[in-house]
């Protein structure tokens, strides 16, 4: 039996973004192992038939000793599992897992680039020094001869190709992690007013939550009958971009935005909304936008990598510049005033989801990548 080891930061991310791929791989005869941190979703992995290995990674850790322990821990897991194929998801697992795959002589590797982080886009002397250091490890990690790099948008592919000389590397673009079109079925928007504007994202500054709140404040000040909502949980991993509870309470008090507690039923949240807003600064390929398209909701998002790839401007939603409160408020005002346009955009979004974002399409593409690598496992790494 072929063995697959999928490596992620967290079990919850795997359950949310990669579990359908694992289930399909199991049906196709793979023995699927998952290395990720334990959390409240870990049991879902074993229920699905995966073999879970606890990997205590600190996603934003910077202590060299701790990071070396993470690499060694993953190396120990890989040596025990002896996978035929490793699938590495998100930034640190790609780098650490790529190093491990070469040292442990794993026959084949899939690198999933779900976002390149700030290291390749930040400016300044400090950022340049960090980038120079990271690039050495990144090049080695991505140097496996029998491998495929999966990108979620063309901008990330171009950035890494230019920085890491990957132009000769086998790669492909897959539109995000897909959406279950039955679970996220089309539904007519609720009656209005009020017009509900929903931002569903982690409570991070770079998701554009501050800009959203200020833009909503402008519309409320003009007398528009809207109900702005933010759905997201507080982070516990020390992310420097995370809002504190005090900051959230202050933002809610000053702008009139309703900050909901963590919500598990994303489908219900979207069905209760009229417009989905994501003013993010940069994304890999945001799941919330393809879910919004599937449910049939108009979208407002930013003209940045990832976000602009998930909509068709002026057909399924509107694009605005990042960090631009006035442009965001104007786009909101446009759709708040025009119910027919919102509905038409929602219908077009559903059509786009059916054509591009079905979970079946995404799973098929991943399994095809696995199988293509399994045809050639002659290479050994040194």
Calculate mean pLDDT across residues 74-101.
Answer: 95
Calculate mean pLDDT across residues 339-362.
Answer: 96
- 148 and 16, same domain (yes or no): yes
In a domain, 325, yes or no: yes
190-208: pLDDT as tens digits: 998 999 999 999 898 999 9
In a domain, 39, yes or no: yes
Residue with tokens 């708040």: 336
In a domain, 183, yes or no: no
- 366 and 285, same domain (yes or no): no
- 139 and 225, same domain (yes or no): no
Distance in angstroms between the alpha carbons of the first and the last residue of the chain: 25
User: What is d(CA 23, CA 208) in angstroms, rounded to the nearest whole number?
Assistant: 34
- 86 and 208, same domain (yes or no): no
Q: What is the pLDDT of residue 22?
A: 95
In a domain, 188, yes or no: no
- 160 and 222, same domain (yes or no): no
- 7 and 102, same domain (yes or no): yes
pTM: 0.85
In a domain, 228, yes or no: yes
Residue with tokens 């994501």: 278
Residue 343: pLDDT over 60: yes
In a domain, 352, yes or no: yes
- 98 and 218, same domain (yes or no): no
Name the average pLDDT for the chain: 90
On whether the CB atoms of residues 300 and 293 are closer than 8 A, the answer is no
- SS3 of residue 272 by DSSP: coil
Query: pLDDT tier at 312 (50, 70, 90 boundaries)?
Result: very high
Q: What is the pLDDT of residue 38?
A: 87
Q: Classify residue 281 by its DSSP letter.
A: S
Query: CB-based contacts of 52: which residues, under 8 Å, 6+ apart?
Result: 11, 33, 34, 36, 42, 45, 46
On whether the CB atoms of residues 161 and 167 are closer than 8 A, the answer is yes
153-190: pLDDT as tens digits: 888 888 888 888 777 788 899 988 899 999 999 999 99
- 248 and 331, same domain (yes or no): yes
Tokens of 292: 């919004």
Provide the domain count of the chain.
Answer: 2
Residue 231: pLDDT over 70: yes
261-284: pLDDT as tens digits: 777 788 999 999 999 999 999 888
Q: What is the pLDDT of residue 242?
A: 84
Least confident segment among 4-13, 122-131, 272-281, 339-348: 122-131
- 316 and 335, same domain (yes or no): yes
- Name 275's bridge partners: 197, 298
- Helix H, strand E, coil C: the string for 42-99 is HHHHHHCCCEEEECCCCCCCCCHHHHHHHHHHHHHHHHHHCCCEEEEECHHHHHHHHH
Query: pLDDT tier at 97 (50, 70, 90 boundaries)?
Result: very high
Kindly give the residue spans of alpha helices, DSSP state H, lying in the chain: 11-17, 19-27, 42-47, 64-81, 91-103, 125-141, 154-164, 209-221, 245-255, 266-271, 287-295, 325-337, 339-352, 359-374
In a domain, 379, yes or no: no
- Name 262's bridge partners: none
- 156 and 278, same domain (yes or no): no
- 204 and 116, same domain (yes or no): no
Query: pLDDT tier at 243 (50, 70, 90 boundaries)?
Result: confident
Residue 234: pLDDT over 60: no
Q: Domain range holding 269?
A: 195-357
What CATH number has the domain bearing residue 206?
3.40.50.2000
Query: pLDDT tier at 64 (50, 70, 90 boundaries)?
Result: confident
In a domain, 86, yes or no: yes
- 34 and 121, same domain (yes or no): yes
On whether the CB atoms of residues 141 and 94 are closer than 8 A, the answer is yes
């Amino acid at each position: 039996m072929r063995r697959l080891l999928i490596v992620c930061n967290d079990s919850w991310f795997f359950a949310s973004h990669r579990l359908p791929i694992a289930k399909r791989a199991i049906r196709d005869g793979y023995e699927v192992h998952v290395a990720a941190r334990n959390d409240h979703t870990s049991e879902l992995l074993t229920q699905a038939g995966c073999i879970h290995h606890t990997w205590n990674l600190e996603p934003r850790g910077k202590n060299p000793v701790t990071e070396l322990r993470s690499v060694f821990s993953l190396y120990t897991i890989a040596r025990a599992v002896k996978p035929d194929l490793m699938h590495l998801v998100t930034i640190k697992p790609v780098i650490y897992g790529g190093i491990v795959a070469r040292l442990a002589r794993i026959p084949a590797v899939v690198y999933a680039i779900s976002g390149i982080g700030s290291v390749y886009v930040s400016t300044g002397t400090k950022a340049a020094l960090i980038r120079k250091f990271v690039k050495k490890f990144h090049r080695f990690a991505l140097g496996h001869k029998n491998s495929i790099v999966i990108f979620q948008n063309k901008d990330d592919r171009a950035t890494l190709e230019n920085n890491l000389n990957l132009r000769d590397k086998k790669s492909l673009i897959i539109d995000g992690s897909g959406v279950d079109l039955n679970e996220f079925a089309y539904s007519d928007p609720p009656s209005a007013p009020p017009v509900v504007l929903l931002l569903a994202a982690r409570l991070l500054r770079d998701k554009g939550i501050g800009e959203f709140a200020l833009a909503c404040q402008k519309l409320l000040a003009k007398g528009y009958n809207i109900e702005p909502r933010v759905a997201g949980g507080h982070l516990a991993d020390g992310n420097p971009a995370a809002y504190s509870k005090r900051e959230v309470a202050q933002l809610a008090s000053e702008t009139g935005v309703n900050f909901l507690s963590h919500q598990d039923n994303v489908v219900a949240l979207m069905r209760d909304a009229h417009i989905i807003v994501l003013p993010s600064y940069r994304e890999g390929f945001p799941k919330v936008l393809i879910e919004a398209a599937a449910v049939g909701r108009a979208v407002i998002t930013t003209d940045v990598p990832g976000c602009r790839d998930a909509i068709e401007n002026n057909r399924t939603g509107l694009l605005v510049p990042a960090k631009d409160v006035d442009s965001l408020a104007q786009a909101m005002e446009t759709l708040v005033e025009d119910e027919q346009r919102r509905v038409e955009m929602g219908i077009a979004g559903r059509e786009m989801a059916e054509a591009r974002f079905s979970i079946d399409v995404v799973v098929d593409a991943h399994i095809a990548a696995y199988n293509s690598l399994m045809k050639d496992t002659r290479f050994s790494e040194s």
